[in-house]
Amino acid sequence: MNKYLIILFLTIAGFSASAQGIKIGPKLGANVGKIDGAGFDEKYSLGYHVGGFVQINFSKKWGIQPEVLWNQISTDTVSGFKALYQNLGNQADNFNDLKLNYLSIPILLNYSPAKVITFQAGPQFGILIDKSSTALQNGSNAFKNGDLSLLGGVQLNLLKLRVYGRYMIGLNDISDVSNSTKWRNQGLQVGLGLAL
């Protein structure tokens, strides 16, 4: 993960040197997500994200937008969860209302066919920071410490206000439980940002 972050930093620094315009700002919004996998509820649950972004424009139409977000994914399990994952022991009883908090770093390619609209797509790197204490006791590792996702969506640029909606799909298995099916994050992000 550290190697990827260093490459990412150097890439952004190189792009910044040839950029035509740079804007920064805060952002916040809602996550409507779930974890795909056997034993997890198919319904979407509400979480949140908060952080900041840097918009680096190379031309009137093209640019990149790296972000740093505190990202919460919420989900529920179904009644058969404990039977599926017996190797979690009694801790499986506490998986009913699960919240995973990630430090997420999306790197989005921006394409703006008009000044008011921007299409965005790119990878999101996530580092698991906090697991809800009701779900996992100290020292227990049911979830991997990293997540890689793909984002795609649209952003409206209304003067300095940024209104966006994105779809996020996990690309890697976040389960660290032996003999488990694959677990993947999935969901929607909607929110507001302010370009300063």
Q: What is the pLDDT of residue 157?
A: 95
Q: Is the pLDDT of residue 83 over 60?
A: no
**DSSP one-letter string for 111-141:** EEEETTEEEEEEEEEEEEEEE-TTT--TT--
Q: What is the pLDDT of residue 134?
A: 45
Domain map (residue ranges) of the chain: 2-194
Q: What is the pLDDT of residue 158?
A: 95
Q: What is the pLDDT of residue 6?
A: 60
Beta carbons of 52 and 192 less than 8 angstroms apart: no
Q: What is the pLDDT of residue 68?
A: 94
pLDDT digits (tens, 9 = 90+) for 47-66: 999 999 999 998 989 999 99
Among the listed ranges 96-100, 108-112, 174-178, 187-191, which one has the minimum average pLDDT value? Answer: 174-178
- What one-character DSSP code corresponds to residue 176? -
Q: What is the CA angle 112-159-115, rounded to 5?
A: 20
User: Is 2.40.160.20 the CATH classification of the domain at 2-194?
Assistant: yes
- Provide the sign of the torsion angle of the four alpha carbons 171, 110, 5, 31, taken in this order: negative
Nearest CA to 71 out of 130, 22, 117 is that of: 130
Name, in order, each residue with C-beta under 8 angstroms of 177's C-beta and a sequence gap of 6 or more: 85, 87, 88, 142
Q: Is the pLDDT of residue 16 over 80?
A: no
3-state secondary structure of 1: coil
Statement: the pTM of the whole predicted model exceeds 0.95:
no
Residue 31 in tokens? 């996550």
Q: What is the pLDDT of residue 21?
A: 79
Residue 170 in tokens? 């996990």
pLDDT digits (tens, 9 = 90+) for 115-150: 999 999 999 998 888 655 444 443 345 667 778 899
Please give the helix or strand (H or E) that residue 75 lies within, else none. strand 62-76
| Residue 102: pLDDT band with limits 50, 70, 90 | confident
Torsion-angle region of 58 (φ positive above 0: left; ψ -120 to 50: alpha; else: beta): alpha
pLDDT digits (tens, 9 = 90+) for 122-131: 999 988 886 5
3-state secondary structure of 54: strand
- Mean per-residue pLDDT over the chain, rounded: 79
Among the listed ranges 7-16, 117-126, 184-193, which one has the minimum average pLDDT value? Answer: 7-16
- The one-letter code for the residue type at 187 is G
Q: Would you say how long the chain is, in residues?
A: 196
